[in-house]
Amino acid sequence: MSDATDPWLIVGLGNPGPEYAANRHNVGFMVADLLAERIGGKFKRAQKAQAQVVEGRIGPPGPLSRRVVLAKPMSYMNLSGGPVSALRDFYKVPTDHVVAVHDELDVDFGVLRLKSGGGDNGHNGLKSMTKAMGADYHRVRFGIGRPPGRMQVADFVLKDFSSAERKELAYLVDRSADAVECLLAEGLERAQSAYNS
């Protein structure tokens, strides 16, 4: 069982490479980048995993401060589990201190949902993580909504946010980073009541 001194591993899910940077599927990377900026860190290549990491502390100084490793797997979304479980093992992070930040089709754009455990809902990044280390990790689900008309899901998630969505995106990424910080400092129930919309 984890305790307050155990580190947290915050994983932003996405695909590496500039061609994917603004895709809906890469919103996890966007949130991880903002969290890194907040703690004054720069991502660097991890020694023990195919990922980029930043180490630091989140939260106010004192008992609510949490030791964190922010990570962006560089393996492509479908293979995220390998790098994440390698980082979890290397940093000795209990699985219930792992947080995946990811896009979620079954939640409307602009809506956030936090939860612990559960299924992968067809999300290949989560499927890979669950296969590698079980399902007992936290998820910060960033709603992107369903594809319009007959557009295939794969095409939709690999498209950039629409111009209307981009007007709200910075605010929503900021809110997601706040939700991660709240989860670490105050626990899941408190974060859910504050951020689940």
Catalytic residue positions?
25
Taking the CB of residue 163, how many other CB atoms lie within 10 A of it?
Answer: 7
Q: Which of 88, 105, 104 is nearest to 96 (CA)?
A: 88
Q: Which of 80, 79, 98 is nearest to 88 (CA)?
A: 98
Distance CA 104, CA 11 (A): 15
Q: What's CA 25's distance to the chain center, in Å?
A: 11
Distance CA 141, CA 70 (A): 17
Strands 66-73 and 51-58: antiparallel
Distance CA 1, CA 72 (A): 25
Report the interhelical angle of 124-133 vs 81-90 (nearest 10°).
Answer: 40
Is the distance from CB of 138 to CB of 114 less than 8 angstroms?
Answer: yes
